[in-house]
Amino acid sequence: MGGLTTGEKVAIAVLLLIPVVFYMVYPAYNYASPELLGVPFFYWFQTLWLAISAVLFTVAAVIWERGLSREEKR
């Protein structure tokens, strides 16, 4: 991870860790309601977080690759 500024490293770490923390904090999603189209909260909310994870990871990837390409140009 050489070449990244401390700020970038922290941002990447936070973005990657958010979904991990969410899924570990089980009281955040182990409910039956509110339901979505008859599907209990437990199922649809965890699924929604897959899309959220993809967004967070993509932002992290952009920060990361930008930092590295700046380094390579130097």
- Kindly list the residues in this chain that would bind another protein in the complex (CB under 8 A): 16-17, 19-20, 23-24, 26, 30-32, 35, 37-40, 42-43, 46-47, 49-51, 53-54, 57-58, 60-61, 64-65, 68
34-73 residues labelled b (16+ CB within 10 A) or e (exposed) = eeeeeeeeeebbeeebeeebeebeeebeebbeebeeeeee
Euclidean distance between CA atoms 49 and 23, whole angstroms: 9
Smaller CB distance to another protein: residue 8 or 64?
A: 64
Output the smallest distance, CB 51 to another protein, in A.
Answer: 7
For another protein, which is the closer residue by CB, 33 or 74? 33
